[in-house]
Amino acid sequence: MTIAAVVPSLLSGLDVPGADNTLGLPRARRVVLLLVDGLGHELLRSYASHAPFLSSLPDRSIDAGFPSSTATSLASVGTGLLSGEHGIVGYTFAVGDEVLNSLTWSRAGDHRHDLRKALVPEVVQPHPTLFERAAAAGVAVSAVAPLTHRGSGLTRAVLRGSWFRGVAGFGDLALGSVAAVAEDRSFCYAYHPDLDTIGHFYGPGSEEWVLQLEFVDALASRIASRLPAGSLFVVTADHGMITAGERIDFDTEPLLWQGVRVIAGEPRVRYLHTETSEVLPVWREFLGDRADVLTREDAVEAGWFGLVSPLAADRIGDVVVAMKGTAVLLRGQAEPSWNALTGFHGARTREEMAIPLLVHSVPSA
């Protein structure tokens, strides 16, 4: 089971037509789904003592889908589709002649170059969202997320159909989530980003990360304690995280440049748009057991992306590189913001792909 099944399973209990409860979740008329960015299932199990509320809930995991990257997973939450159908195939990916940073909806490597007009979010991701379907069925649908996400390209692409409530921190995130389900037949998607940010800077399992996990656990506990009787509270994530080991710099390895027209993705998963078939064997020999290096056709055949539509196929690239172990493939000059980071995700390891699905039913009055 994957992250794409979470929202349809919850909307089934709200009697939204066509929503199937494939995850077998409890039915409720008021639902809050809290997505904690970076809360991998394996990390939560390893640091369970620092998250007593979350760890008190039945231990269940699902698959984040590939790549295990934030924008991809949020698109799966919003559409009920995997990356091969919704087309948000990673952190950065080629759309025509542009390489899009899907989190900032800007040109990769240049956050100042806003692409919302050139690459209209509703066109880049054209499928109706589950929030649109739920709202059309009479459900009060809300998204509670950081203020800076209001009107962003990614919000427009994958969260459209919800009433957006921008928040600044833990307090208004908790109260806003509870207020969003005050009426009958209401659904709230809430998003908290900071555990992922701390993990990138200091590493998952660092003292800073563990303290942030404790704050997240308190947030979840506060939301659960304030929800109306009969509500359903579900906590999940978009991916896990690993601490980087070996760092390989594409920009200092001329052998890897040969025949590569465009390189996209992020340090744990790369898409290579190529000019020659010689790229594949060169990369396989160079990376060895540090990565799975497949043609697009073989990666699709292996089911990495789920069903793949023409919309997504060209965005994937001719060669797909999924790092193994803890190695990362950096671009020291072209992508300097990654150089100083400690935690990474995007690849196919269980540490990155397994996410929790934690369910708390508030007793009826």
Say yes or no: domain 3-243+349-361 is CATH 3.40.720.10: yes
Phi then psi for 338, rounded to 5 degrees? -80, -20
Residues contacting residue 345 through CB under 8 Å, at least 6 positions apart: 38, 68, 69, 239, 240, 241, 242, 268, 352
Which residue intervals of the chain bear CATH 3.30.1360.180? 247-343
What pLDDT sits at residue 3? 98
Residue among 318, 337, 321, 320 nearest 329 (CA)? 321
Q: Which residue carries 């993990």 as its tokens?
A: 199
How far is residue 13's CA from residue 315's CA, in Å, rounded to a whole number? 35
Say yes or no: domain 247-343 is CATH 3.10.129.10: no
What pLDDT sits at residue 195? 98
What pLDDT sits at residue 112? 86
What pLDDT sits at residue 189? 98
Residues contacting residue 36 through CB under 8 Å, at least 6 positions apart: 192, 195, 216, 220, 235, 236, 237
Which residue intervals of the chain bear CATH 3.40.720.10? 3-243+349-361
Task: List the pLDDT tens digit at each of the 365 positions of the chain.
Answer: 999 999 999 999 999 999 999 999 999 999 999 999 999 999 999 999 999 999 999 999 999 999 999 999 999 999 999 999 999 999 999 999 999 999 999 999 888 899 999 999 999 999 999 999 999 999 999 999 999 999 999 999 999 999 999 999 999 999 999 999 999 999 999 999 999 999 999 999 999 999 999 999 999 999 999 999 999 999 999 999 999 999 999 999 999 999 999 999 999 999 999 999 999 999 999 999 999 999 999 999 999 999 999 999 999 999 999 999 999 999 999 999 999 999 999 999 999 999 999 999 999 86
Strand pairing class (354-356; 61-63): antiparallel
What pLDDT sits at residue 343? 98
Torsion of CA 18, 24, 26, 27, to 10 degrees: 20
320 near 274, Cβ under 8 Å? no
